[in-house]
Structure 1
Amino acid sequence: MKAKNTNSKKIGQSILVVLFALISFYGNAQLKGGHILGAMGLQSGTQAPENTLSVYVPVYIYTANCLRNRDGDSIGNPDLTMFITGAGASYVSDFKILGANYGASILLAGASNAIQGSYIDSKSSFAFTDMYLQPLQLGWHNKRADFVFSYQMYIPTGKYELGGSENSGLGMFMNEISAGTTLFFNDKKTFHFSALAAYEINGKKKDTDIKTGDIFSIEGGLGKTFYCMNAEKTAPKAILNAGLIYYLQYKVSDDKIPVGSLLLEPDKDHVGALGAEVNYFHIGCMTSAGFRWVSEFDAVNRFQGNTFFITLAHVFSTKKK
């Protein structure tokens, strides 16, 4: 009888140790959403031209150089680099809804070292990650401003297991609504400023009651468009876009993390970033290459680092001859 009581006491102590460890871990952790910062920059509020199908390959690299707490102080120097690449397609039609062109996009990708939240143990092998699907995009084009509105979702197709070391997805369904504009400061539309705001609503993680808080993001840039003329100087052979870009992200509502009979709600996180972008589009080949670099600052309750985004694309005309 005494032995049973001793074993029960040890089991109870072990449970308490695990419980306190979880509270310590999750109490300071912030859960990540699906929105990939840096995917948009110059002319983020402009839809692609109508009757076009763009097939693209994105390469996303995020290097974390420090982890910051609720006061913005560095509490760690992680050796962590997240990598994403895949293949996507974006289509814009001449079909009108409320005077706007209808469009849609899809991205299938893989990821390594998928960051699940603001904790250093985030390393994993390259594997298929969550799928991005944008079934609705509306774009308006005016003389001095473009506008865009869209709905997108992140489908949990990547591997996810609570506490797993090889997770490639976030294990939750995510809905997002975005709206933005690009303002042009001259008649030729060569000098512009853009802002695209997105609001992400996250569901519960797979087989758990853990719920990531809603996330608000803003991305855009201030840039200049240059037309590279042909040898005869009769028509442009290429278009070059270059300028400064930025992003901001804020956790709007608290994460909900049940630990035993407790419900943890860690302090919200936020981050800002500034950088540069250059895009080159060759008109004859209908191909483009783009590069973005953004350096983060003012991070709270999350990693702070550098974002690199490379995009290669080919554009097909879908206009009926």
Structure 2
Amino acid sequence: MDKNINLLALHRCFIIVIFICVGICQAQQKGQYVPGQFGLNAGVVPAAGLTYANLALNYSASSLNDANGNHRPNVLGTYGFWVDENIFYFVPKKKILGASFAPYISLNGASGSLVADISGTNLGASGGGSGFADLFVQPVNLGWHLKRADIVGGYAFMAPTGRFVAGASDNVGSGYWGNNLNFGATVYVTKNRGTTLNLFSDWETHGQKTGTTLTPGKAFTTEWGVGQVLPLKKDFSRLLQLGLIGYDQWQVTASSGTIGVLPASSVPFYSVHAVGLQSNFILPAKNLNFFFKYLDEYRAISRPEGRTIAFGGSWTLRIPKPVAAPKP
């Protein structure tokens, strides 16, 4: 297999969409990073040029877990959202500190819904909204191409451009600024670079939520994957990449202010863990990559437990255009 084939990673966005707090359930204020963005090729950046990537992500849950990770049978309903991420990279040919400079911006649309019924009471909640969500910008993103690994790291921020009104049931944005430090690595186990180990991590901090006293606590997320590339044609013009992937997310510091009538610091920390599968269909000569991911959450604390589906693709306009290899 040609070791120079670029297996483009295209799942790089951080979105918060609709979150509606039901006080009697002690629902948690989640952070802005939605896991399920990464998996295979977590340390790879696009080749030099302009890249457009689209990622559609759906999260759906029908159970709410307590601080011990147990399903609360008195809380029935569904919680879910769709996010459509439009991601634009520009990667110049010139290197910085030996690394590719790959800044990007993501323009995002979102829609979501919550329907909740608390049995044994006269209380319930419903809501949802759709529209332009928060803007994600990664102005610093450096990727190093090593002999047996690709490594990427950088800084990003989330701007609260999505519609948000404190107490409303149709919010689309988070209502606060966020900052992210992230790191990704892809290790090539075999010389032909077909077998990979992948890891991504994100540390996020948050500002105060508009119209409230709430500042969400810091969160840490890891995403991982083990993948294998299979050539579908002998000339490696069509590749199939399959892998096992997963994510883990934890709240690591207490929130400040209040959630409804509750002191935010009194609400238990949330965490979630998931495992699933990813497939990529890659056309190296055409700079095209299509992917599909499914992840099932097997453990959640103080938050919903559900499943994540993500799919999409990317295309790169190479600048400069690569020179074709001479025919034998």
CA 1:165–1:222 in 2, change beyond 3 Å: closer, same or farther? same
Q: Aligned AA for 2:248? A: L
Structure 1 SS opposite 2:274: strand
Structure 1 SS opposite 2:54: strand
| Distance in 1 separating the partners of 2:77 and 2:183 | 34
State the structure with more CA Rg: 1
**5+ residue gaps, structure 2:** 1-20, 119-123, 323-328
Other-structure match for 1:217: 221
Deviates more, 1:192-201 or 1:275-284: 275-284
1:85-106 residue CA offsets vs partner (Å, 9 max, x unmatched): 1422122222222221111111
CA 1:79–1:225 in 2, change beyond 3 Å: closer, same or farther? same
**Alignment map for 1:136-285 (pairs within 5 Å):** 136-229=140-233, 233=234, 235-258=235-258, 263-265=263-265, 266-285=267-286
Query: Structure 1 vs Structure 2: percent identity of aligned residues?
Result: 27
Deviation at 1:132, TM superposition (A): 1.1
| Distance in 2 separating the partners of 1:312 and 1:237 | 17
TM-score for both structures, normalised by structure 2: 0.83
CA 1:87–1:121 in 2, change beyond 3 Å: closer, same or farther? farther
Deviates more, 1:206-215 or 1:94-103: 94-103
| Distance in 1 separating the partners of 2:140 and 2:126 | 33
Deviation at 1:196, TM superposition (A): 0.8
Deviates more, 1:169-178 or 1:200-209: 200-209
1:209-229 residue CA offsets vs partner (Å, 9 max, x unmatched): 211000100012000012332
Q: Aligned AA for 1:294? A: L
**Alignment map for 1:59-70 (pairs within 5 Å):** 59-70=56-67
Q: Aligned AA for 2:93? A: D
Structure 2 SS opposite 1:208: coil
Tell me, yes or no, if the aligned pair for 1:69 and 1:302 is still in contact at 8 Å: yes
1:15-46 residue CA offsets vs partner (Å, 9 max, x unmatched): xxxxxxxx981782211111121111102122
Tell me, yes or no, if the aligned pair for 1:143 and 1:187 is still in contact at 8 Å: no
CA 1:166–1:191 in 2, change beyond 3 Å: closer, same or farther? same
Deviates more, 1:211-220 or 1:121-130: 121-130
1:121-174 residue CA offsets vs partner (Å, 9 max, x unmatched): 463232111011111111111111221101111110001111101100010000
Deviation at 1:320, TM superposition (A): 6.0
Other-structure match for 1:7: none
| Distance in 1 separating the partners of 2:261 and 2:132 | 34
Other-structure match for 2:53: 56
Deviates more, 1:262-271 or 1:205-214: 262-271
**5+ residue gaps, structure 1:** 1-22
Other-structure match for 1:80: 79
Structure 1 SS opposite 2:309: strand
Q: Aligned AA for 2:71? A: S
What's the C-alpha RMSD, in Å, of the aligned pairs? 2.3
| Distance in 2 separating the partners of 1:112 and 1:158 | 11
TM-score for both structures, normalised by structure 1: 0.84
Tell me, yes or no, if the aligned pair for 2:101 and 2:140 is still in contact at 8 Å: yes
1:265-288 residue CA offsets vs partner (Å, 9 max, x unmatched): 111110100000001122343322
Structure 2 SS opposite 1:124: strand
Structure 2 SS opposite 1:219: strand
CA 1:320–1:65 in 2, change beyond 3 Å: closer, same or farther? same
**Which protein is richer in helix relative to its size?**
1
